[in-house]
Amino acid sequence: MLRVTRLTDYATVVLTVLAARPRDVLSAVELADASGLEAPTVAKVLKPLAQAGLVEGFRGAGGGYRLLRNPADISLAEIVEAMEGPLGMTECSLHAGNCGIEQSCGVRANWRRINDVVARALRGVTLAQMAEEA
């Protein structure tokens, strides 16, 4: 079964909370309360989201996190890539030369085609749309 990791799922939940309050700066504890997640888990997902430029953090009293861009401008593909790295159904769908049977493999082209469809679908869904469903 193909699925995103639990942390990616949680990151999406946290981001939908921020999307509902795009101008607010929310602490990890506030985000945990609003999302139903544990505070350490929220803190864990916020780090790669900040590194990817999806959220910005503020230190000190009244510190916390907020979205850096409009939720309608953040794709689900960006969230998945922030948490898991480049989108790739298989190693060969991302980079050539990583497989010992690549030269004789008859399925690589189809995996690449499937990878492109999945990536296009993820790029076609925005954080704003994900927040609407919540």
Predicted confidence (pLDDT) per residue in 35-83, tens digit: 999 999 999 999 999 999 999 999 888 889 999 999 999 999 999 999 9
Predicted confidence (pLDDT) per residue in 81-126, tens digit: 999 998 888 777 777 767 778 777 888 888 889 999 999 999 999 9
Give residue 133's pLDDT.
65
Give residue 84's pLDDT.
93
Closest CA to 82 of 127, 24, 33: 127
On the question of pLDDT at 134 being above 70, the answer is: no
Greatest CA separation for the chain: 60
Phi, psi of 56 (to 5 degrees): -125, 145
Q: How far is it, in rounded angstroms, from Cα 132 to Cα 134?
A: 5
Q: How far is it, in rounded angstroms, from Cα 37 to Cα 85?
A: 23
Q: How far is it, in rounded angstroms, from Cα 132 to Cα 22?
A: 14
Domain extents in the chain: 6-86+126-133
Instruction: Look up the CATH architecture of domain 6-86+126-133.
Output: Orthogonal Bundle (1.10)
